[in-house]
């Protein structure tokens, strides 16, 4: 048997009707059969066919209910369903089409009509699958391009601050893993991964004599430095997209502290948006474990101890606990994305 041939599932409570359809289809397709609705649903769950020929009038579970359940499941919803109906079942045919069936064939069936309808809807199904594949591929390419663009924006700010460009990539992965650890939805985690690299974009607006000063900043200079979250929020908030709005929120709030002693707005506790709290931990962890012109890198052990020390004051204590539990994953990211000489 040619395993490349499409598979048709024939569902009918009358064996004679199944025999007729099998006789028509066998030379061209692989076939599965079911004598009732529950059996058909089980077959679809185990091994989805490419098309279903479905009788309407069946005991216990009629074809309309089978179709309703097929279309309610993401696994089986795309599979084309063709109803096989008796003469005079016009209302049932209309109800079936309303449920998502693609066509119907009237009994007694005509072999040429069956083959033509099946071939047509298989071709349409294959075309739809191909187009969906192309859309997914193109979407993935656009997502990758978008990620590269936002990483470049973040890296531009880091280079201005004499920091390595890999910092923004590492810390975004730390933040994303931490978000998953506390049960945030997948979509939120993906947007966070893309938004976090832009957390310090506001440093572009800080004068170089302050940003690159080797000595401790005086009070006036520190006041200027503390404006970079608001500068970043304004830069990113100009674009009203989900990504840029989250990036803007992160830029504005990642220097806020759990105890309310942070800046620019002195937010405390859960008043600080969750994305800002996540990035605060990831940013400080990577900054401490990275070598800079003005300091050596801390060990991961010492840095985790520091995070624990600051739990409940600088950082959300629940997030710190989850971050500490992620140590093996954190180490893997740090090693995989470490700075190269």
Q: How far apart are CA 241 and CA 38, in angstroms?
A: 45
Burial bucket for residue 293 (CB in 10 Å: 0-12, 13-18, 19+):
exposed
For residues 140 and 19, membership in a common domain is answered with: no
For residues 216 and 326, membership in a common domain is answered with: yes
**pLDDT of amino acid 153:** 66
| CB atoms inside a 10 Å sphere around CB 166 | 17
CATH number at residue 52: 3.40.50.2300
For residues 91 and 192, membership in a common domain is answered with: no
Task: Please enumerate in sequence order all residues whose Cβ is within 8 A of that of 198, keeping only pairs 6 or more positions apart, or say none.
Answer: 150, 153, 154, 157, 168, 232, 236, 247, 250, 251
Secondary structure element (H or E) that encloses residue 288, with its range: helix 274-289
For residues 330 and 189, membership in a common domain is answered with: yes
In a domain, 190, yes or no: yes
CATH number at residue 262: 1.10.3210.10
Q: What's the gap between Cα 324 and its chain centre?
A: 25
The DSSP code for 306 is: H
Q: Parallel, antiparallel, or unpaired: how do β-strands 81-85 and 51-55 relate?
A: parallel
For residues 179 and 286, membership in a common domain is answered with: yes
**pLDDT of amino acid 315:** 98
Distances (CA, A) of 233 to 202, 244, 245: 7, 9, 9
Among 62, 93, 109, give the residue marking a domain's end.
109
Q: How far apart are CA 12 and CA 54, in angstroms?
A: 7
Total structural domains within the chain: 2
For residues 305 and 164, membership in a common domain is answered with: yes
**pLDDT of amino acid 151:** 62
For residues 277 and 186, membership in a common domain is answered with: yes
In a domain, 114, yes or no: no
Angle formed at CA 164 by CA 159 and CA 165, multiple of 5 degrees? 75
**pLDDT of amino acid 89:** 61
**What strands, in cross-sheet order, belong to the sheet with 7-11?**
30-34, 7-11, 51-55, 81-85, 103-106
Please give the chain's pLDDT, 341 residues, in tens: 445 799 999 999 999 999 999 999 999 999 999 999 999 999 999 999 999 999 988 988 999 999 999 999 888 999 999 999 876 666 666 787 888 889 988 888 999 999 999 999 998 888 878 787 777 777 777 766 666 666 666 666 665 654 555 788 899 999 999 999 999 999 999 999 989 988 988 888 888 888 878 788 899 999 999 999 999 898 887 767 788 889 999 999 999 999 999 999 999 999 999 999 999 999 999 999 987 766 788 999 999 999 999 999 999 999 999 999 999 999 999 999 887 66
Secondary structure element (H or E) that encloses residue 244, with its range: helix 242-253
For residues 94 and 157, membership in a common domain is answered with: no
**pLDDT of amino acid 1:** 41
| CB atoms inside a 10 Å sphere around CB 143 | 12
In a domain, 126, yes or no: no
For residues 297 and 188, membership in a common domain is answered with: yes
In a domain, 204, yes or no: yes
Q: How far apart are CA 28 and CA 10, in angstroms?
A: 14
286: which 2 tokens?
């990577």
Task: Please enumerate in sequence order all residues whose Cβ is within 8 A of that of 102, keeping only pairs 6 or more positions apart, or say none.
Answer: 80, 81, 82, 121, 124
Task: Please enumerate in sequence order all residues whose Cβ is within 8 A of that of 272, keeping only pairs 6 or more positions apart, or say none.
Answer: 253, 256, 258, 316
For 258: left if phi > 0, alpha if psi spans -120 to 50, otherwise beta; the answer is alpha
For residues 57 and 140, membership in a common domain is answered with: no
**pLDDT of amino acid 18:** 93
**pLDDT of amino acid 159:** 59
In a domain, 1, yes or no: no
For the chain, give percent helix, strand, coil, nearest 5: 60, 10, 30
Q: Parallel, antiparallel, or unpaired: how do β-strands 81-85 and 103-106 relate?
A: parallel
The model's pTM: 0.58
In a domain, 117, yes or no: no
For residues 98 and 142, membership in a common domain is answered with: no
Among 91, 109, 127, give the residue marking a domain's end.
109
Q: How far apart are CA 41 and CA 48, in angstroms?
A: 9
For residues 88 and 150, membership in a common domain is answered with: no
**pLDDT of amino acid 119:** 92
In a domain, 299, yes or no: yes
CB 24, CB 111: distance < 8 Å: yes
**DSSP letters spanning 5-60:** S-EEEEE-S-HHHHHHHHHHHTTTSEEEEESSHHHHHHHHHHS--SEEEEES--SS
- List the domain range (segments joined by +) for residue 281: 136-336
In a domain, 124, yes or no: no
Q: How far apart are CA 80 and CA 70, in angstroms?
A: 10
**pLDDT of amino acid 125:** 84
Q: What's the gap between Cα 13 and its chain centre?
A: 42
């Amino acid at each position: 048997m040619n395993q490349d041939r499409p598979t048709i599932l024939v569902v009918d409570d009358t064996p004679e009707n199944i025999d007729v359809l099998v006789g028509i289809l066998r030379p061209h397709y692989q076939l599965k059969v079911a004598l009732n609705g529950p059996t058909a649903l089980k077959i679809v769950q185990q091994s989805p066919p490419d098309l279903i020929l479905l009788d309407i009038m069946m005991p216990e579970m009629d074809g309309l209910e089978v179709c309703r359940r097929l279309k309610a499941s993401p696994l089986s919803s795309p599979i084309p369903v063709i109803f096989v109906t008796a003469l005079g079942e016009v209302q049932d045919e209309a109800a079936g089409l309303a449920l998502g069936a693609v066509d119907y064939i009237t009994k007694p069936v005509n072999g040429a009509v069956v083959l033509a309808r099946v071939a047509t809807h298989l071709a349409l199904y294959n075309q739809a699958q191909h187009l969906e594949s192309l859309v997914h591929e193109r979407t993935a390419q656009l997502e990758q391009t978008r990620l590269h663009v936002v990483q470049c924006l973040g890296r531009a700010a880091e280079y201005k601050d004499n920091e390595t460009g890999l910092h923004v990539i590492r810390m975004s992965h730390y933040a994303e893993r931490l978000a998953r650890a506390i049960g945030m939805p997948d979509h939120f985690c993906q947007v966070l991964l893309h938004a976090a690299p832009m957390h310090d974009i506001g440093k572009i607006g800080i004068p170089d004599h302050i940003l690159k000063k080797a000595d401790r900043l005086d009070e006036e200079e520190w006041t200027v430095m503390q404006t970079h979250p608001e500068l970043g929020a304004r830069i990113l908030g100009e674009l009203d997209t989900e990504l840029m709005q989250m990036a803007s929120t992160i830029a504005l709030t990642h220097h806020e502290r759990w105890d309310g002693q942070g800046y620019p707005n002195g937010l405390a506790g859960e008043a600080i948006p969750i994305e800002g709290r996540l990035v605060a931990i990831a940013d400080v962890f990577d900054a401490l474990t990275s070598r800079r012109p003005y300091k050596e890198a801390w060990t991961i052990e010492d840095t985790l101890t520091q995070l624990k020390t600051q739990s409940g004051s600088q950082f959300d204590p629940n997030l710190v606990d989850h971050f500490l539990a992620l140590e093996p994953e954190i180490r893997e990211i740090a090693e995989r994305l470490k700075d190269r000489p």
